[in-house]
Amino acid sequence: MEVAIVGAGLSGVHAALELAAQGHAVVVFERSGSVAAEASFAQGGLCAPALSPVWGALCGTQPLALQASGLSDAGWRWAARQARSKGWTEFRQNALLALTRQSLARSTLLRRQLQLDHERSEGLLVLMRDEAQTRKAQPLVEHWQAAGIAHQWLDAEACRRQEPGLSPDTPLHGGWQLPEAEASNGRELCLLLKQAAQRLGAHFMFHTEVRALQAGKRPALTHAPATQAGLPGASQRRDALAAAGPSTVPSPREAQTHSFDAIVLCGAQPGDALLAQLRLKPAMRQVWGRTLTAPLRQLEAFPDLGPRANLIDDCHQLSLSRLGQRVRISGGACLQPPSRGDKGFEHLHEVLHDWFPGAIQSQQAQYWQGSRLMLADGLPLLGASGAEGIWLNLAHGGQGAALAAGSAQLLAALIGGRDPGLDLSAFGPDRLR
């Protein structure tokens, strides 16, 4: 089959690999100049079963720590709708958990088979600063128990043995250890997977925007050269894209229409013309957050500076990931792009310093803010779109890194006419119509 993929983030690159591995002729269309240029760029990288958004729903808080400031009326309506949808049925929870597990297993297999060598670390410690916070998170622990997710309570002393760099001055009640979790550098992974897909014959068209889709037995798409200046966050990414080199197949200057046997949509924005053409008007929003990534200081006298693995600060809803010799701290869930003068990055510095004082080389810190596409119910859109020949693999919200490998594997099975072996009805677009 000839298959087109729209978008070369984690979802699109994983899909390209899976489909090319099945012998399909794959072409990926990406409006930016490289893979992982949008949400997948410098995201937290944490891959763990049953964390967000189950977390907020189970603990009685909003599914997202939505920041009230600057929300438009539409934003409030969306937040209210999301709160209403927090009645997570067992069906949906189980579907999400099964997809995450499938994904973690698929990532492990791909890493071994393709001998991928990228920045990553295993294990997660969810830190609780005091007893009240620990009690509040109890429903989540019960959920882990019921779902058979391996977890173990460590008291403060055991946490510090596990993570000797934790500040002795910062109050710590204890933490839950989740050995199944891991974190990895998503952009580096995307670059490696792209190379693997290319070895299998996949073709990448960068700086190429898909402007229209046409359903049918031989679905078609119309693409044209993208104007970089119009892309969100283009100026921040310019240096990184330049460093990525000219991995570009030049596309013709005029708009072109090509037909395929299947088209997979792995990138879109709320109000996107492509979604409108598919008659999909889901309550979809961009949810903004930020990360800070910095090299760890290397001091012989203090070999334990910084985290050894991955942590979540439950109180601040921030994650800290160990990526090679660097640490990344990630957080924020806001419906508006952060404004000038916003103290968000200072907050990341403060929390990092609170847990691991003096651990990073601050002058070399890299700052990134980005948004993930999210539906009101927090579940991705995965499967047939309802329009003939067009498939969906997008809106993975705050779990796109964790879900990318499994989603692509299952979608490739569906497109190839095989049984995916997992009930994907929870993720279908019918729930939105």
Q: Among 2-10, 298-306, 345-353, 417-425, which window interacts with ligand FAD (CB under 6 A)?
A: 2-10
Name 301's Cβ contacts closer than 8 Å, sequence gap at least 6: none
Q: Which is nearer to ligand FAD, 106 or 290 (CB)?
A: 290
DSSP characters over 383-412: EE-SSTTEEEEE--GGGHHHHHHHHHHHHH
The answer to whether 118 and 188 are in contact (CB under 8 A) is yes
Please identify, using beta-carbon distances, which residue of 307 and 398 lies nearer to ligand FAD.
Answer: 398
Residue 104 vs 154, nearer CB to ligand FAD: 104
Contact between 429 and ligand FAD per CB under 6 A = no
| HSE (side-chain half, CA atoms, 13 Å) at 220 | 7
Contact 79, 71 (CB under 8 A): yes
Nearest alpha-carbon partner for 155 in 131, 123, 138: 131
Among 16, 39, 57, 412, binds ligand FAD (CB under 6 A): 39
Residue placing its CB nearer to ligand FAD in the complex, 29 or 88: 29
| 310 contributes a contact to ligand FAD by CB under 6 A | no
Cα 236 from Cα 229, distance rounded (Å): 11
Place of tokens 């879900």: 403
- Least gap, CB of 97 to ligand FAD (angstroms): 14
Question: Toward ligand FAD, which CB reaches closer, 38 or 342?
Answer: 38
Stretch 396-425 residues interacting with ligand FAD (CB under 6 A):
396-402
Applying CB under 6 A, the site for ligand FAD has a residue count of 43
Residue 298 CB, shortest distance to ligand FAD, in Å, is 25
Sign of the dihedral through C-alpha 72, 73, 74, 76 = positive
For the sheet containing 208-214, what is the strand order? 208-214, 220-225, 256-259
3-class DSSP state of 102: helix
Tokens of 372: 């993930």
Candidates 266, 292, 323, 376; binder of ligand FAD (CB under 6 A) is: 266
3-state secondary structure of 187: helix
Q: Minimum CB separation from ligand FAD for residue 42, in Å? A: 8
Q: Closest approach of Cβ 406 to ligand FAD, in Å?
A: 11
Q: Could you say which of 44, 63, 389, 429 contacts ligand FAD (CB under 6 A)? A: 44
For residue 432, give the DSSP letter.
G
From the CB of 200, what's the least distance to ligand FAD, in Å? 19
For ligand FAD, which residue has the nearest CB? 400
Q: Least distance in Å: CB of 366 to ligand FAD?
A: 13
Site for ligand FAD in 317-336 (CB under 6 A): 319, 330
Shortest separation between residue 236's beta carbon and ligand FAD, angstroms: 13
Q: Is 268 in the site for ligand FAD (CB under 6 A)?
A: yes
Tokens of 239: 């240096």
CA–CA separation, 342 vs 286, rounded Å?
Answer: 18
Residue type at 145 in one-letter notation:
Q
What x-and-dash track marks residues 341-380 binding ligand FAD by CB under 6 A?
A: -----------------------------xxx--------
Q: How far apart are CA 132 and CA 125, in angstroms?
A: 18
Q: Which 3 state secondary structure label does DSSP give 3? A: strand
The contact set with ligand FAD (CB under 6 A) reads 6-12, 29-32, 36-40, 43-47, 209-210, 266-268, 274, 289-291, 319, 330, 370-372, 394, 396-402
